[in-house]
């Protein structure tokens, strides 16, 4: 996982301040499957070929939510590498 919480960092032109509509406008044309994350915190999810992008935005009714952009890539450790 890579988690972005810095508002100055952009991913595909998006920041943690981007709207869910802007998120959809970027990932839908690229063929990503769009959905909503499970759980109490509203998160927009785009998934394709083992790569997942998630956008969680701050909400007025829950000030404890940390806005973030998370990127997850499904990988395997076929070689058994240990760090």
Query: pLDDT tens digits, residue range 17-76?
Result: 999 999 999 999 999 999 998 877 889 999 999 999 999 987 766 778 889 999 999 888
Q: Give this prediction's pTM.
A: 0.84
Residues 6+ apart with CB under 8 A from 16: 4, 5, 6, 7, 9, 55, 56, 57, 67, 68, 69
């Amino acid at each position: 996982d890579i988690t972005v919480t810095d508002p100055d960092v952009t991913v595909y032109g998006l920041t943690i301040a981007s709207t869910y509509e802007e998120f959809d406008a970027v990932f839908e044309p690229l063929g990503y499957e769009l959905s909503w994350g499970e759980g109490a915190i509203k998160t927009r999810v785009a998934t394709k070929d083992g790569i997942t992008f998630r956008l969680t935005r701050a909400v007025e009714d829950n000030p404890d939510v940390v806005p973030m952009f998370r990127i997850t890539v499904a990988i395997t450790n076929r070689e058994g590498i240990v760090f």
